Amino acid sequence: MKQQSRLNGWSHGSPPAAAGAAGSRAAASAESGREAFDVLVVGGGINGAGIARDLAGRGQRVLLAEKDDLAQHTSSSSTKMIHGGIRYLEYYEFSLVRKALAEREVLLRSAPHIIRPLRLVMPHEPSMRPVWMMRIGLFLYDHLARREVLPGSETVDLRRGPIGAALQPRYRKGFAYSDGWVDDARLVVLNAVDAAERGAEVLTRWRCVDARRAGAQWQVRLEGPGGASRQVGARALVNAAGPWASQFLREHAHVPDPKSLRLVKGSHIVVPRLYEHDHAYVLQSPDRRIIFVIPYEGEFTLIGTTDVEHRGPVGQARIDDGEIAYLCEQAGRYLRKSITPADVVWSYAGVRPLLEDEASDASAVTRDYQLDLDTRGAPLLTVWGGKMTTFRKLAEEAADLLAAPLGVSAGAWTRGAFLPGGDLSAWIGAPQRPDTDIQRFAQALALRHGEIPAPLVHRLARGYGSRAEALLADGLGEAVAPGLHEAELRHLHEQEWARSADDVLWRRTKLGLHLSEAQRAAVADWCAAHWNEDAAPAARAPQSLGRTETTWN
Ligand X SMILES: Cc1cc2nc3c(=O)[nH]c(=O)nc-3n(C[C@H](O)[C@H](O)[C@H](O)COP(=O)(O)OP(=O)(O)OC[C@H]3O[C@@H](n4cnc5c(N)ncnc54)[C@H](O)[C@@H]3O)c2cc1C
Q: Which spans of this chain sit near ligand X (rule: CB under 6 A)?
A: 42-48, 65-68, 72-75, 77-81, 207-208, 240-244, 248, 252, 266, 305, 350-353, 383, 386-389
Least Cβ distance, residue 54 to ligand X (angstroms): 14
- Rounded to a whole number of angstroms, the minimum distance from the CB of residue 295 to ligand X is 15
236 near 58, Cβ under 8 Å?
Answer: no
Q: Which is nearer to ligand X, 81 or 167 (CB)?
A: 81
Q: Which residue stretches of 21-76 are H helix? A: 22-32, 46-57
Cα 293 to Cα 120: distance, rounded to the nearest angstrom? 9
In the three-class reduction of DSSP (H, G, I as helix; E, B as strand; rest coil), residue 77 is classed as coil
Cβ distance to ligand X smaller for residue 5 or 466? 5
Least separation in angstroms between CB 21 and ligand X: 24
CA–CA gap between residue 546 and residue 10 (Å, rounded): 9
Q: How far is CA 304 from CA 271, 322, 388, in A?
A: 11, 13, 16
Nearest distance from residue 70's CB to ligand X, in Å? Answer: 7
State in angstroms the smallest separation of the CB of 372 from ligand X. Answer: 14
Return d(Cα 141, Cα 84) in angstroms, integer.
8
The nearer residue to ligand X, 88 or 552, going by C-beta atoms, is 88
Task: Give the residue with the Cβ less far from ligand X, 368 or 549.
Answer: 368
156 secondary structure, DSSP code: E
- Cβ proximity to ligand X: between 120 and 417 the closer is 120
Q: Measured from the CB atom, is 49 or 484 closer to ligand X? A: 49
Q: In the beta sheet, which residues pair with residue 176?
A: 121, 154
Kindly tell me which of 307 and 488 has the beta carbon lying closer to ligand X. 307
CA 217 vs CA 32, 202, 312: distances in Å? 10, 20, 34
Minimum CB separation from ligand X for residue 49, in Å?
A: 7
Nearer to ligand X, 296 or 441 (CB): 296
* CB closer to ligand X, 301 vs 305: 305
Alpha helices in 407-433 (DSSP H): 425-428
Q: Please, are residues 354 and 309 in contact by the beta-carbon 8 Å criterion? A: no
Q: Which is it for the CA torsion 351, 355, 357, 358, positive or negative?
A: positive
**Shortest spacing between CB 313 and ligand X, in angstroms:** 12
Task: Provide the minimum distance between the beta carbon of 157 and ligand X in the complex, in angstroms, as a whole number.
Answer: 28
Nearer to ligand X, 45 or 431 (CB): 45
Nearer to ligand X, 104 or 485 (CB): 104
- Tally Cβ neighbours within 10 Å of residue 458: 18
Least spacing, CB of residue 66 vs ligand X, in Å: 5
In whole angstroms, the minimum distance from the beta carbon of 18 to ligand X comes to 25
294 in Cβ contact with 331 (< 8 Å):
no
- Dihedral angle computed from the Cα positions of residues 48, 51, 55 and 56, in that order, rounded to the nearest 10 degrees: 50
Minimum CB separation of residue 87 from ligand X in Å reads 12
**Angle 94-110/391-406 helices, nearest 10 degrees?**
90
User: How far is the C-alpha of 94 from the C-alpha of 409, rounded, in Å?
Assistant: 32
| Rounded Cα–Cα distance for residues 417 and 553 (Å) | 8
Which residues touch 322 (CB under 8 Å, ≥6 apart)?
Answer: none
Q: Are 381 and 237 in contact (CB under 8 A)?
A: yes
Q: What is the distance between the alpha carbons of residues 551 and 413, in angstroms, rounded to a whole number?
A: 10
Nearer to ligand X, 58 or 352 (CB): 352
User: 88 or 244, CB closer to ligand X?
Assistant: 244
In angstroms, the CA 363 to CA 135 distance is: 22
In terms of CB distance, is 158 or 185 closer to ligand X?
185
User: What span, in angstroms and rounded, lies between the C-alpha atoms of 64 and 197?
Assistant: 13
Report the nearest approach of ligand X to the CB of residue 101 (Å).
12
Contact predicate 305/79, CB 8 Å: yes
Length in residues, the chain: 553
CB neighbours of 517 closer than 8 A, spacing ≥ 6? none
- Contact 174/122 with Cβ under 8 angstroms? yes
Residue 295 near residue 163, CB atoms below 8 Å = no
- Kindly give the interhelix angle for 94-110 and 434-448, rounded to the nearest 10 degrees: 20
Q: How far is the CB of 164 from ligand X (least distance, A)?
A: 25
Helix (H, G, I), strand (E, B) or coil at 493: helix
At its nearest, how many Å lie between ligand X and the CB of residue 264? Answer: 7
